[in-house]
Each structure stands twice: as C-alpha cells, then as structure tokens.
Amino acid sequence: MGTYENQEMQTPEKREIQTPEYMHVPENRVAQKSSLKNKGLYLIIPILAIAFAEFMIYSGRPIEAMEVHAVTLLGLSLSMLYIKNEEIQKTYQALLLLPILRLVNLSMPAFYEETLYSFVFIYGLLTIPVTIALTDQGFTRERLGITFKRMWIYIPLSIIMGLLLGVGEYLIVETNYLIPDLSIPSLLRLTLVMVFLVGLVEELIFRSILQNRLEEFLGSRGSLIITSVLFGLMHSGYGNIGEVFYTLFVGFIIGFMFYRTRSLPLVTMIHGFINVFLFGVIPHLF
C-alpha cells in the first residue's frame, strides 16, 4: 500500500514513467517481453471475438452468442497450450473468464427470469475458475488489492457512490426489484448476494485479474481503457446501448479507484451497493 500512497501526490505522467515496485519483473521476463512481436494482435483477436458475441446478445440472438463465446473459450484455451510466451498465456487465462461468465449466465436453465437466487448459482459456480486464475496469475496480495486498510472511510464512501451510480443506471434501464420489500431481512439477503458474491467475483475478474494482467501488457492507461470497455460490453444483455456506455463509464471510475487505492474491498463494495440500490431500494421507491 505504501507504493500507492506515495503516488497520490504525483502526476499521471510521472506514474507512467516511474514503474511501481509491484510491477517490476525478473530480467528473463523482461527479455521475453522485448522479444515478443505484434503483441497487440494477440490481444485484439479475442477482444473482438468477445465484443462480437456481446453484440449478438444485444441483437437478441443469445444462441449465436453462446456459440461465439464457446469458440472463443476453446480458442483461448488451446492457444495457451501452443503459445509458449508466459505473458500471453496468463493474459488469455484472464480473458477466458469473460466467456465463462457469459456462458454460465446464459446456460442457467432453472431461471428464465432474473431472480436473486439466479445470481447465487451463477456467481457461486464462477468462484471455481476465478480462484484457479487468482492462484495461477502469480500476483501478490498487495497487487490483487487484498487489504482492509481505511475501511472506516471506504464503507461510507462506497454506499454514497453506490447510491449515486445506482440512480444513474436505474434512469437508463429501470430494473425490477429482486426482493419483495425493503424489510431488514430482505435488504440483508440482497446485500450479502450483491456485495459478497456478485460484486466480489466480478471485481476479482475485471480488476484483480484482468486489469492487473493488462497493466503488464499495455500499461496502466491501456489496461484501464480496455477493461472498462469489456466491462461495458458485458452488460449488453439489457439490449440498451445507453446501459453499455454507462457501465463502461462506471467501469472506468471503479477501475481508476482500484488503480489509485489498490483496495479490492472498496471497489467490491461500490459495485455491490450499486446493485443493492439498482435491484432493491430504488425500484421500490419509484
């Protein structure tokens, strides 16, 4: 955490020039990176495939989207066997979590309508590949954002941001509520699912794994932009282009806060409380 605290008084230009301590890599990996040519091509192909699949969902063609995501998942998995570059392998491992997320979501036959318990099944299953990726990526606990410092500030901050961003998203998609009322037990159930399951799993995927991995691949700015775009695209299921752009904006805010604070609990709570207000509090009030 000391690295990030010291960066707070620096300009973005200096942060880009002065590599943070947690991003230093061994000399053999530096040599491996320098010998890698056309590395952008390795990244653009799977990203375009994921974007195309999400466009299929946006267009109301979920079956075709599942087929594209399945092919993308298979392609990324097989590529990891044949591409010997470790940086590419781990980047592909981070990216394949997105097709898995969507395939699990679309393949859940027990819930044709969105319910609170559908999130439990979907994100409960996702903890398996996410845990495997976390252990294999090789990041330190500090890099992953696993710290509980400044929680006395982050808890109220996350509730306020969750309310403001949740109101903005509700004005775009006008979601239905997932709890029958605003009683304490109902709100507790919703908060547990949205913060400690949905928010935690998605922030592990997009921030702790994907943003961290792309930071080594593209630098901090590039990773923030690509991760935000993918975060927005993964909300195409609403069939609302405004929702895609809004969640891209939200993803940028959350990603930037993760970059500055390196606090997984903070971004998890912001994400979770957005959903608490979006799927619970606001629909009952309006």
| pLDDT at residue number 2 | 44
- Both tokens of 224, joined, read 């923030």
Given the structure tokens 């960066």, which residue do they identify?
A: 7
Given the structure tokens 């394949």, which residue do they identify?
A: 96
Reading the chain (286 residues) residue by residue, the pLDDT tens digits are 444 333 333 444 444 434 454 454 444 444 444 456 677 888 999 999 999 999 999 999 999 999 999 999 999 999 999 988 899 999 999 999 999 999 998 887 655 566 888 899 899 999 999 999 999 999 999 999 999 999 999 999 999 999 999 999 999 999 999 999 999 999 999 999 999 999 999 999 999 999 999 998 899 999 999 999 999 999 999 999 999 999 999 999 999 999 999 999 999 999 999 999 999 999 999 8
| pLDDT at residue number 169 | 97
Measured between alpha carbons, how far is 123 from 144 in angstroms, rounded to an integer?
A: 19
Question: Which residues, 6 or more positions from 197, have their beta carbon under 8 angstroms from its beta carbon?
Answer: 119, 120, 123, 124
| pLDDT at residue number 108 | 74
Q: What is the DSSP string of 258-285?
A: HHHH--HHHHHHHHHHHHHIIIIIHHHH
- State how far the alpha carbon of 269 is from the alpha carbons of 89, 92, 276, 277, in Å: 30, 27, 10, 12
